[in-house]
Chain A
Amino acid sequence: MRVLDRKLFRELWGLKAQVLAIALVLAAGLATYVMAAATLDSLQRTQRRMYREFRFPDMFSNLKRAPESVAARIAAIPGVREVETRVVAPVTMEFEGYRFPINGQIVSLPAGAPKLNLPHLHSGRLPEAHREREVLISDGFADAHKMRPGARLLVTVNGRQREVDVVGIASTPEFIYQLAPGSIVPDFATYAILWMNRKPLEAAFNMTGAFNQVAGTLDPGASLKSVLDAMNALLEPYGGLDAHGRKDQVSHRYLSEEFRQLEQMATMFPAIFLSVAAFLLNVVLSRLMATQRGQIAILKAFGYTNAAIVIHFLKLAVLIAAVGLALGIAGGAWLGSGLAGLYRDVYRFPYLDFAILPGVIGISAAYCFLCAMAGTVFAVLRAARESPAVAMQPAAPGLYRASLLERLGLERMFSQPTRMILRNIERRPLKSFLSMIGVAMSTGILITGGFWSDAVDFMVFAQLRRAQIEDLAVTFTGPVPGRALQSLTSLTGVSHAEPTRWVPSRIRFEHRSYRTALQGMTPDGSLRRLLDRDLRRVELPVEGVILTDYLATMLGAKPGDILTVELLEGNRAVRQLPLTGLVSEYVGVNAYMRLDSLNRFMREGDTVTGAFLSADMEREVGIYSRLREMPAVAGTSARMRALRAFYDTLAAQMLMFAFFNTILAATIAVGVIYNTARITLSERSRELASLRVLGYTRGEVSYILLGELALLVFIAIPVGCGIGYSLAGAMAASARTELFRVPMVVNVGTFAFAALVVLIATVVSAMVVRHRVDHFDLVEVLKARE
């Protein structure tokens, strides 16, 4: 081995603690990248493979009811390749030993082999032809109840209860994400997908010889838009207006949204970590360069070229980077498989090919070495350019001057050691500033971790404790007369009921429009409240609509603007109505108006499609069983159950996220603080040792050294709180879609926690350095010539 390389390894070994600290920060950045990129990659590959293997359609449409003959006309639309029709119906279910209401969809299986949305069987078999009682159930539901083929369910379709046998457990590409209408997160225990032969389902749902859903594939190169337009025109008489492509298919949309966020995770966090790592490398290498000024000069004096010297020090950076890379990839693989596992709890992929592709490793290596170079190249070049004659002389005593505070006439306030601290910070303003920013960044990252749980807590609080405070929500099979409510209030345990009505509609403003349900509400209702951002109640106008604030933004409308509201059901009336207010909601986008106005708009009498109940939940089991007996009731959901489901699903994810975030941020904090302290120590060990010789105590000397650090950290924490708040704001803004919004809420506790973690990291680093000060070998420090 060349002598210079030997020097390199010895020096690296001497710096091992600092090298490790830097490598860990690098590794943290790479791990977040590898985790997000590998997870994204794996999920996308799995999605593509599953869409292909299980024939995910290109286009979809719901309709009221069309005779089967219409299928041939759809197939005749130019560009359409395959068409499959089916019957889909809402169901409620129950089974022995489970008391909560279960809602779901029952989907027909075609008579022959299915062409599209093929069920992937996890266990059991497909229902045999002509078997009327056999069903498949979705795997999420089966998992939640540990249900196996052979189980028996009581399902209610169209008000009629029947017993069915589970013969298989399945998943299909259209239900990777399964969200019950009106809920915030998937709840596999209370929401299920069932598949059944078409004949018996047609019969049960009064759909003999007809269909209410159609899906299809396109010829390669066909224009989706023109096919969709043709489908809408064709299906309009049958109540179909929502022909859409994959982009608007619910499960696909949620997945796409998730992918977008993963992509962001794969850029934002690594960028922060890697820039901090580059900074640390720069600080440590600049320092190393400074201590080696004489050695560099000697090497040059003996004829080593600048290039040889530059390469020598770059090797050092590359070695550190290599350690970071190895740790980062290993860490990222571990985190990634954990994250992918969490995703599988929510997104029901039938399988997941988790792999870290060479591309991800290649990009990580490139990032890593770029960062190492960015951190070192300038320091190295500067050192190499120095004239050897200048470098040979002992470094001139640094230029110090009275610090700003002292010049302001405050010097009498400071002791001699305090003046040393202030002057030292002021003499190296850039370095001090960057160290401060490094610590602030870790504070910021900690805050973003806390922000997610704060936001979710707030969301749950606002949505489920302030806005939706009914105990039970009941949906009817369709529009029913308002007096149906009386049969609900008459149930034992139910004290109060408020009606509601959903009408599918299209809301237009200028050239923009959006399809959503227009919801009629009683203006003085107490169980569902429309609240603004500050949780204040928004009044329902006699004439006019209220929109979710995000929907108004999408439409570009503001209160006072006149919207065009087109009903897509019943009389299909179109009216101009003013937008009178905005509500703040976090899941989905909605439009509201007074129930009586809506009914007038529809030219119908007192009609409702659902009700919110206030009930004595001690008696819920009795209430459920009475509700099941009511043919008009299509489904029931319990608010507390939704709340629990929400936390069950998200708590694990959020805990993991917060945990890793804390570890990563603490890594940065320790990396920056420890390196800063070590470098100050090595730069000033002679000075400090001299002070010790002059009779300063260890404590006093440590104060000079660590006081500087403490001052930087105390400035960094508030700055970091600002950075964290802005990062959280940026994350919230980028997560804002019509599917869900994250409220911008950061609790005081989150700030306090971030500050605490940074302080602990500071104290630990300070203790390590203090230990070194305490064990100063005075003779050695003073003898050594740098």
Chain B
Amino acid sequence: MATPAPAEPIFAARGVTKVYDMGEVQVHALRGVEMDLYAGEMIVLLGPSGSGKSTLLNILGGLDRATAGHVSYCGWDITRAREKELTAYRRKHVGFVFQFYNLIPSLTAKENVAAVTEIAEKPMRPEEALELVGLGDRMNHFPAQLSGGQQQRVAIARAIAKRPSVLLCDEPTGALDSETGIVVLEAIDRVNRELGAATALITHNADIRLMANRVIHMANGLVGSVDVVENRLKPGELRW
């Protein structure tokens, strides 16, 4: 059975558009997106390349601003927020995981996590976060001394260490083989279930949709269809 969706969405996007003005041409990355994300829920965003998935995620996470439309987070309109408020929002509530890890090369695994916990309100200890993603024995390695999957898990540890209420992952397994990918997805799944962080996950791998509560299909800057997953699977049960 599907987890019953709570009534109040923590994110509500209404008519969100994003236009990149390239001088001669205008790129319409989003053309009026409508979507919700409920507390504790896990959604997967699917869609062809260039359909606007990353753009949407960045707007939800307060990394980027919509050209028009509204996004509310727990009733607060983040499209109207000032830069300072967005920074505080990201600092307190949001955890990001990116396709290209984006670790700080001059800091060890533990220090990369500490860079976030140092400014968070009630964070885990960096060691705890790294153990959660199965990297307790690699704390003092520099990114260059870690494999791609390990680096991505450090990135997840860094995203979850602040106990975020929202976890946004942009193709976290894009650069990984399936086995490592599953380890990474397990870490995300665990955070979603154990910390209750509402999670949005972008992927090109349709099989992954089965670990979500709902799947949002995007095409051409619009939400095409929304599927509810009847039987949410554990990442270990996925096959691809």
Contact = CB atoms under 8 A, between A and B. Distances in A.
Nearest to B92: A303
Interface stretch (B115-123, B133-141, B229-237): B115-123
Given A7-B107, A10-B106, A389-B58, A302 B63 contact: no
Looking at B96, B98, B103, B104, the one whose CB has the most chain A CB atoms below 10 A away is: B104
A264 to B, nearest CB: 44
Given A303-B119, A305-B87, A392-B63, A6 B102 contact: no
Interface stretch (A292-300, A342-350, A603-611, A641-649): A292-300
A301 B64 contact: no
Contacts of B217: none
B73 to A, nearest CB: 14
B90 interface: yes
B169 to A, nearest CB: 12
Interface in B105-128: 105-107, 111, 114-116, 118-120
Interface in A646-703: none
Interface string B89-101: 1111010101010
Interface string A554-577: 000000000000000000000000
Given A3-B107, A3-B118, A7-B104, A301 B61 contact: yes
A389 B58 CA distance: 6
Contact of A3 (B89, B105, B114): B114
B88 interface: yes
B119 A389 contact: no
Given A3-B111, A6-B111, A389-B64, A303 B91 contact: yes
B107 A392 contact: no
Contacts of B96: 298, 301-302
B63 A387 contact: yes
A304 interface: yes
A2 B107 CA distance: 12
Nearest to A394: B100
Given A6-B107, A306-B87, A294 B115 contact: no
A3 B88 CA distance: 20
B46 to A, nearest CB: 20
B49 to A, nearest CB: 13
A308 B84 CA distance: 12
Contacts of A305: 84, 87
Nearest to B61: A301
A245 to B, nearest CB: 65
Contact of A299 (B105, B111, B115, B144): B115
A395 B92 CA distance: 28
Contacts of A784: 105, 144
A512 interface: no
B61 to A, nearest CB: 7
A387 B55 CA distance: 12
A294 B98 CA distance: 11
A304 B144 CA distance: 24
A17 B120 CA distance: 36
Contacts of A299: 115
Interface in A99-153: none
B153 interface: no
A305 B102 CA distance: 18
A294 B90 contact: no
Contacts of B64: 387-390
Nearest to B91: A303
Most chain B beta-carbon contacts within 10 A, residue among A3, A7, A784: A3
Nearest to A391: B63
A4 B104 CA distance: 10
A568 B146 CA distance: 95
Contacts of B103: 298
B54 to A, nearest CB: 8
Contacts of B55: 389
A445 B144 CA distance: 44
A303 B88 contact: yes
Q: Which of A2, A308, A388, A784 has the most CB of B within 10 A?
A: A388
Interface residues of A, number: 29
A248 interface: no
B106 A389 contact: no
B158 interface: yes
A785 interface: yes
Contacts of B158: 302
A302 B107 contact: no
Given A388-B63, A392-B63, A392-B98, A304 B119 contact: yes
Interface string A3-22: 11011001100100000000
Contacts of A4: 115, 118
Nearest to A294: B102
Contacts of A306: 83, 87
B91 A302 contact: yes
Contacts of A294: 100, 102
Identify the interface centre among B64, B88, B102, B105: most chain A CB within 10 Å of its CB: B105
B102 A2 contact: no
A388 B87 CA distance: 11
Most buried by A among B63, B100, B111: B63
A387 B62 CA distance: 10
Contacts of A295: 102, 104-105
B111 to A, nearest CB: 5
Nearest to A393: B54
B58 to A, nearest CB: 4
Contact of A14 (B58, B106, B111): B106
Interface in A332-355: none
Interface in A199-220: none
Given A7-B107, A388-B63, A302 B116 contact: yes
A77 B104 CA distance: 82
A392 B88 contact: no
Given A7-B107, A387-B63, A389-B58, A302 B102 contact: no
A308 B162 CA distance: 18
- Residue with the highest number of chain B CB atoms closer than 10 Å, among A2, A300, A303, A390: A303
A674 B63 CA distance: 37
Contacts of A11: 106
Nearest to A305: B87
B87 A300 contact: yes
Given A295-B104, A390-B64, 4 more contacts: A2-B118, A10-B106, A10-B107, A304-B119
15 contacts: A7-B107, A7-B115, A294-B100, A295-B102, A297-B102, A298-B96, A298-B103, A301-B94, A302-B90, A302-B115, A303-B91, A306-B83, A306-B87, A308-B119, A785-B100
5 closest pairs, A vs B, by CB? A303-B91, A389-B64, A389-B58, A389-B63, A303-B90
Interface of A: 2-4, 6-7, 10-11, 14, 294-295, 297-306, 308, 387-390, 392, 394, 784-785
